[in-house]
Structure 1
């Protein structure tokens, strides 16, 4: 008695005859649907299901592991582009530099102290106290122009070398989102400390505050990993020496503010308990720093506008 053989086809491509089964779900699959496995072949659905069950690798802070420090590259590019823009249009620095409070006369000139009483016409407040809060971040992407002396090109060169060397390491240790938040909050911390302790009329630019925050994170993360600290300690010693020397050249307040904020946030990132509470602790640390910096800045601005300015 003759019997017809059963024709089997791929479950995804019914028109294609095949004779191979998925070793997991036992459905027939054609050569286009075969995925190599340790034993036999798997279908695309079983491969996806298996990938979901594999535990994803995480950084020491719980971030996604990546091999390319994209955020560092973007920040580097933004700083360089901002520098080129200010070379072409120097007035960008006046508009976006970090300034606590500055009196501007009807002639467009800047006045401070008793000199403002000899100006005929209304004065307006410029800077953070004048409602230009964006200066607290935009100033961290500007640098001294080469037209302002030999320190110009050296300023951005030193900061970008430090960002390139430190940022690529710290970003891969933290993950992209956490690193971006650390950089921006460190920059903000530097601006707030400058607002509080520096001359309110003094303008400041540079990524140094953010870079100092990244350097503090570099130190904290290496201690958390139990790495050999000899070279790290030497680096931090040079960094602190730079902080002391810079007191007579640039805004030491910005450097110190970035260092403190970056170090505090890195501690929260590195030592947050593992498990479901890790993200909550880290988010809480970020939110707490934002609130602290915002309240500190608001109190100082209130002091300046409530009688501290010689209007």
Structure 2
């Protein structure tokens, strides 16, 4: 059962100091001035008198009045949300919905949204693709497409595993920007290198972006990198060994995700934090756009 605020049964470490109510492994001598729960330096929110915990700031401690303290923030400066996996859940739902629609409507639906630079479609009797027909939307729609059940299963499993911690650390908006920019960057590198008539689809570019971001985040928090690096290494081996995998999307997403995450978690504090964070994401996106423009000029 959950302990009531101020309950004497609090996590203790070996030195006698209580552990933070959100991070039990962190000893702390700081307590919320409203509910008296122990809070670590990452959780405490400055108030007019002392510090408050994120829960009390968010709810106003049940007084019905607006809280006097500033809103709690994530590691990257995003707003702390009650459901730290909301965007992750929505992304999984969108991918699943598109997959089901693809099964219902058949190959024609999938082919119209798959990333392809240029090819002649015998069914339509006309050319299709980004360069051939200016179908730029394929660079993004392909990120939400999956042709096989195993493909979407493993991608969504990784999205759930990586997305939750990243969304909690970055905040909803920053996490969504990371995911989309990584996906587009993966599509851009595929568009640049792959054969013009070679189709590509899947969320793998965005997922590898989350891999890169997780490594940056864990290094920033000084966590043990060996588990995540080992998992990434296994996936990269599969990428380059298994046939039919667009390694370009994986590499492009991985690099983009790491760059965007670095800009977000290492941005200076204060009023420049948000401009620097979204500026870093914009620069990565701009690089992807330049790659797309260069490839399009070469093909046309």
Matched, 1:278 2:273: yes
The counterpart of 2:115, out of the listed 89, 98, 103, is 98
Q: What are the residue-to-residue correspondences of 1:1-311 with 2, within 5 Å?
A: 47-48=65-66, 51=67, 53-68=68-83, 69-90=85-106, 91-104=108-121, 108=124, 124-129=126-131, 130-144=133-147, 152-246=148-242, 248-305=243-300
Instruction: Give the C-alpha shift of residue 303 in structure 1.
Output: 1.0
Q: Which has the larger radius of gyration?
A: 1
Structure 1 unaligned regions, length at least 5 = 1-36, 110-123, 145-151, 306-311
With normalisation by structure 2, the TM-score equals 0.75
Are the counterparts in 1 of residues 239 and 245 from structure 2 also a CA contact under 8 Å? no
- How many residues are treated as equivalent by the alignment? 238
> Cα RMSD (Å) of the superposition?
2.0
- 8 Å contact from structure 1 (residues 67, 172) kept in 2: no
Deviation, 1:243, is 2.9
Alpha-carbon separation, structure 2, partners of 1:192 and 1:85: 25
Identify which of structures 1 and 2 has the higher relative contact order when contacts are C-alpha pairs closer than 8 Å and 6+ apart.
1
Off by >3 Å, runs of 4+ in structure 1: none
Q: Which runs of 5+ in 2 are unaligned?
A: 1-59
Q: Distance in 2 between matches of 1:127 and 1:211?
A: 24
